[in-house]
Amino acid sequence: MTSTTAPATATPELLEVVNPATGEHVATVACTAGDEVSAIADRAREAQASWGRTPWRERARVLRRFHDLLFERADEVLDTIQSETGKSRRDALSELISVAGTARYFLAHGRRQLATRRARGALPWVTSAREVLHPRGLVGLITPWNFPFLLGIGDALPALAAGNAVLLKPSELTPRSALLARDLLLEAGLDPELLHVLVGTGAELGAPLIDAVDYIGFTGSLATGRLVAQRAAARPIPCSLELGGKNPMLVLPGANVDQAVAGLLLGSFANAGQTCIGIERVYVHAELWDDFVTAAATATASLRQGWSTGWDVDLGSLASNDHAERVRDHLRDAIERGATVVAGGLDVPEGLPETFVAPTLLTDTSDGMLLQREETFGPVVRLERVASEAEAIQRANDSEYGLNASVWAGSRRAGRHVARQLVAGSVGVNSTLLIYGSFDVPMGGTRASGIGARHGAQGMRRFCRSQSIVSSFPQRGGYEGLLGLADSPRGALLLLRAMRTLRRIPGAR
Ligand code: NAD
pLDDT digits (tens, 9 = 90+) for 240-261: 999 999 999 999 999 999 999 9
CA distance 64 to 86: 30
List residues bridging with 307 in a β-sheet.
none
13 catalytic, yes or no?
A: no
Spatial CA neighbour of 280 closest among 264, 295, 293, 258: 264
Q: What's the CA angle centered on 151, arms 261 and 328, to 5 degrees?
A: 50
pLDDT tens string 428-484: 999 999 999 999 999 999 999 999 999 999 999 999 999 999 999 998 889 998 888
Q: Superfamily assignment of 247-437 in CATH?
A: Aldehyde Dehydrogenase; Chain A, domain 2 (3.40.309.10)
Atom of ligand 1 nearest to the CA of 210: 20
Q: In the structure, what pLDDT confidence band is assigned to residue 5 with cuts at 50, 70 and 90?
A: very low
Number of H-type helices and E-type strands within the chain:
18, 20
Q: In the structure, what pLDDT confidence band is assigned to residue 6 with cuts at 50, 70 and 90?
A: very low
CA distance 397 to 392: 9
Q: Residue 398 CB: number of other CB atoms within 10 A?
A: 13
Q: Mention every residue, 6+ apart, whose C-beta is less than 8 A from residue 352.
A: 1, 2, 305, 306, 307, 317
pLDDT at 10 over 90: no
CA of 175 to the centre of ligand 1 (A): 13
Residues of CATH 3.40.309.10 domain(s) within the chain?
247-437
Q: Hey, whose CA ends up nearest to atom 26 of ligand 1?
A: 144
Average pLDDT over residues 117-134: 94
CA distance 377 to 391: 25
CA distance 110 to 138: 19
pLDDT of residue 508: 75
Average pLDDT over residues 283-307: 98
Radius of gyration of the chain (CA): 26
pLDDT at 175 over 70: yes
Average pLDDT over residues 179-204: 98
CA of 221 to the centre of ligand 1 (A): 4
DSSP 55: -
pLDDT of residue 483: 82
14-242+456-465 CATH fold = Aldehyde Dehydrogenase; Chain A, domain 1 (3.40.605)
Return the percentage of the chain with pLDDT > 70, whole number: 97
State whether residue 211 is helix, strand or coil: helix
Catalytic residue among 276, 374, 375, 464: 276
Residues with CB under 6 Å of ligand 1 are 142-146, 151, 169-172, 201-203, 206, 219-221, 224, 227-228, 242-245, 276, 375, 377, 403, 445, 450
pLDDT at 40 over 50: yes
Spatial CA neighbour of 43 closest among 215, 201, 192: 192
CA of 148 to the centre of ligand 1 (A): 11
Of 61-70, 82-91, 101-110, 472-481, the range with the lowest mean pLDDT is: 472-481
375 catalytic, yes or no?
A: no
Q: In the structure, what pLDDT confidence band is assigned to residue 499 with cuts at 50, 70 and 90?
A: confident
Mean pLDDT of the chain: 96
pLDDT of residue 358: 98
Spatial CA neighbour of 306 closest among 259, 356, 345: 356
Compute the Cα dihedral for 20, 23, 27, 29 and give only its sign.
positive
Residue 230 burial by CB count (10 A; 0-12/13-18/19+): exposed, middle or buried? exposed
User: Looking at per-residue confidence, does 481 or 234 come out higher?
Assistant: 234
Assess contact for 230 and 434: CB atoms under 8 A. no
Site to probe by mutation for ligand 1, drawn from 102, 219, 451 as the one with most ligand atoms within 8 Å of Cβ, is: 219
Specify the pairing of strand 239-242 against strand 127-135.
unpaired
pLDDT at 376 over 70: yes
Query: Could you report how far apart the first and last alpha carbons of the chain are, in Å?
Result: 72
Specify the pairing of strand 127-135 against strand 464-472.
antiparallel
State how far the alpha carbon of 76 is from the alpha carbons of 25, 152, 241, 252, in Å: 18, 16, 30, 43
The pair phi, psi for residue 319, each rounded to 5°, is -75, -20
pLDDT of residue 509: 66
> How far is C-alpha 23 from the chain's CA centre?
28
Q: Hey, whose CA ends up nearest to atom 41 of ligand 1?
A: 242
Site to probe by mutation for ligand 1, drawn from 94, 99, 171 as the one with most ligand atoms within 8 Å of Cβ, is: 171
pLDDT at 4 over 60: no
pLDDT of residue 1: 32
Spatial CA neighbour of 382 closest among 268, 490, 291, 469: 268
Site to probe by mutation for ligand 1, drawn from 221, 222, 274, 462 as the one with most ligand atoms within 8 Å of Cβ, is: 221
| pTM: predicted TM-score of the whole model, two decimal places | 0.96
CA of 131 to the centre of ligand 1 (A): 34
Q: Hey, whose CA ends up nearest to atom 19 of ligand 1?
A: 206
Residues of CATH 3.40.605.10 domain(s) within the chain?
14-242+456-465
